[in-house]
Structure 1
Amino acid sequence: MKTQNQVAQAAGTTQPYISNILNGRRRPSWKLAKRLAQVTCTEPQLWLDGTPDEIRAALSDLYRGACCPEKFETGAKRTPGQGG
């Protein structure tokens, strides 16, 4: 199971910020939305315009380990030019 903390670390943010997004209290910047999309196998638009329920539904496979496992196994190290 992938945790909010793992997603946050892989995207370069914090677990409380991810929690605020998932609870509808915050919206990420375009830059962060791109990183979140990259590490969660989703689209940036989901993070920018999706409802909390839509975002949670899209992440359900990720949290079960069915999507992008390599993003977490490698620590999601970004290289220059990857939207960081």
Structure 2
Amino acid sequence: MAKRLGAETVQVNSNSQLIVNQIKDQYSLKDPRMMKYYDKVWELIKEIGTVEVEWVGRERNAHADALASLATACAPSLN
């Protein structure tokens, strides 16, 4: 998707410190279900090229929450 849009770098912000550290290989994965998600994420990262992953604390998360609420209000199938 990012390549089709002409993106060379994608910035991913997450409020889950656990997920961010797992993607950055700073935390190990033990749950087989989470390993499947991890594999899928890396499949997408390789397809995109450059992906920057950053943890966003609650104090910086209000804008993302508002955008997510707006998106799900406009397209309920995104839930």
Relative contact order (C-alpha < 8 Å, sep 6+): which is higher? 2
Larger Cα-atom Rg: 2
Scaled to the shorter chain, the TM-score interval is 0.3 to 0.5
| TM-score (norm: length of structure 1) | 0.31
Q: As a proportion of its length, which structure holds more helix? A: 1
